[in-house]
Homo-oligomer: A and B are copies of this chain.
Amino acid sequence: MAAVEQLGYQPSAVARGLVKRRMDIVGVALLHWEGTLYGNAYLMSLLDGILTPCTRRRQNVMLLALPGWDDEEAGSRIADGRCDGVLLLVPPMQCPLLDTLRQRSLPFVAVNSADPLGSTASVDVDNIAASAEATRHLLELGHRRIAIVGHPWDRVTLYYQDRREGCRRAMAEAGIEGGVTELTVDEAADLDLSAAGCPTALVCAYDGIALILLQYLKKRGIRVPEDISIVSFDDIPGAAGSDPPLTTVRQPAVRLGERSVEMLLEMIANPALQVRQEILPTELIVRGSTAVVRSSRPGAADSLPT
């Protein structure tokens, strides 16, 4: 035993893992290609939340960077016994990796992407309700023509669709029918404010888009919120420090990360556990990027709240 100290002996985690069928590693699968993380503060916050309970509970975190969710070999890189369970960051409802995990009955939790069918464990927010709240805020400020802004590739995501749906519902409740106009970032940046029917407020799919848009608009001399109001989602660091500070729906990113790890660890410890879907609350943070609609904007004054 003295020799153990002397020689600095370390038991092999791999050999132990082979016997105990547990590596104390949780996998974290996320989309990644060069530059994806760079600037993706939201993912960073999620990771932050994931790491804390892992460190406390002596779990290691293995990152699985996927070029796409349809990647066929993802399963063989993470469902090969090296992880005890997997966290999927914003996965689609269907992909080969999900099938592989199910087949190998490896526990997994979807983060920020709840299956409407309720068949997979998940931790998420209620994007529809969150977006409806943000939209109502705009409606209360007198905005009637509201568009949603996102990249074309965002449109396939569940959270985008839910946020659009929330927006639609809030507008419908206010008597504005006809769906929500969808704009790409470029279209939003090039908006002709003097055109009839031009939106007076923009709902951005997430803060990253809002921040970029703010820069484009500033370059064109368009003032936010005087000329156009902007709300978005996430409340990443940087949302409060932008010019103007963003009005945004805060997502409890750190909590989402924490809860998803805890749920996963429970599932690993007790595989018979029933699938749970947890919903965490969001909060509308009103800052400087939204204001009462300007009466000089065509078609705005006639619909100010009474």
Contacts and interface: CB of A to CB of B under 8 A. Distances in A.
Interface of A: 8, 10-15, 17-18, 23, 25, 32-41, 43-45, 47-48, 51-52, 54-55, 58, 60-67, 75-82, 100, 103-104, 211, 214-215, 237-238, 241-243, 253-254
Contacts of A47: 37
A57 to B, nearest CB: 12
Contact of A67 (B11, B55, B242): B55
A215 B241 contact: yes
B34 A52 contact: yes
A40 B44 contact: yes
Contacts of A211: 241
A64 to B, nearest CB: 7
B34 A79 contact: no
A65 B54 contact: yes
A44 B37 contact: yes
Query: Among A54, A63, A67, which residue has the most Cβ atoms of chain B within 10 A?
Result: A63
Contact of A237 (B39, B51, B61): B39
Given A51-B65, A63-B62, A104 B10 contact: yes
Contacts of A238: 39, 238, 241
A243 B243 CA distance: 7
Contact of A63 (B60, B103, B241): B60
B52 A14 contact: no
26 contacts: A8-B103, A8-B104, A13-B81, A13-B82, A14-B17, A14-B23, A14-B80, A15-B18, A18-B18, A23-B82, A33-B52, A34-B48, A37-B45, A38-B48, A38-B253, A39-B41, A39-B44, A39-B237, A44-B44, A51-B65, A54-B65, A60-B77, A61-B62, A61-B63, A61-B65, A214-B241
